[in-house]
Amino acid sequence: MQGTLFDAHCHPYGRLSKANLSVVNGTSPKDWTEVVELAKNSQKVIPAIGLHPWRVNEVADNWQSQFLDALPHAQVIGEIGLDRWINDSNLERQEAAFCWQLKQASLHNLPVSIHCLRTSGALLKVLANQRIPQRGFHLHAYNGSAQQVAQFAEIGAYFSFHAGQLNKYSKKTVAAVQSIPIERILLETDAPETIKKSNNATSYLTRAYELVAELRNMSVELIQEQVEANFRRLFKND
């Protein structure tokens, strides 16, 4: 597939795809510096820092000051969010960390990359009572229902998917993809989390473009143009 590729969500501990731009997400103070350094060394990297819900029980008490130290070097806040899927999840601590980081994003009008597993309803309730960045927020690897798409979109959501989600056997995901406003669709790899070692991140991203084009009954070229416009609007404020 020729043309431009944009990866809305990946991580620093793996080989990045050959996308024109990639949002590289930190998950705790342990990798925020690595994300910032990657961005300094590559114009194709958009740095994101955030405390992941999986890390809230292990992070040091001074993580907020570390966050504020790294914030001037970040262009996105992420990956942050809520998660009931993991064992020993502490939703109260997750929500406190999430809301504090969302406040920082709103104060600086930075886009947010949100992790949400088995908590779509809870996330909607939290967002309804929080200030949201004017630029909006990004639900990475969206796994909520098609019915919830309109509620999220109304308050500023963009939605991304990776190739592993976009198979025709997942009726829930297919319905969600087909219900999302075209100007809010993004694509991602979540590399290396979702990619086996034998797979290539670029081909994985390319496959996501092809699958969304098929599910939306559009040409790959049109999907590429739309995803680029969406990506630049949210992450680059273009």
Q: What are φ and ψ of residue 138, in 5° steps?
A: -125, 120
Q: Are 105 and 111 in contact (CB under 8 A)?
A: yes
- DSSP state, residue 217: T
Residues of the chain with pLDDT under 50: 198
In 3D, which of 192, 178, 186, 233 has the Cα closest to residue 209?
A: 186
Check residue 196 and give its pLDDT: 65
Task: For strands 137-139 and 76-83, give the pairing.
Answer: unpaired
What global pTM score does this model have? 0.96
149-202 pLDDT tens trace: 999 999 999 999 999 998 777 889 999 999 999 999 999 999 987 776 546 899
CATH 3.20.20.140 for the 6-236 domain, yes or no:
yes
Check residue 193 and give its pLDDT: 77
Check residue 10 and give its pLDDT: 96
Distances (CA, A) of 4 to 22, 46, 79, 90, 144: 12, 16, 24, 40, 28
d(CA 81, CA 83) in angstroms, rounded, equals: 7
Check residue 3 and give its pLDDT: 77
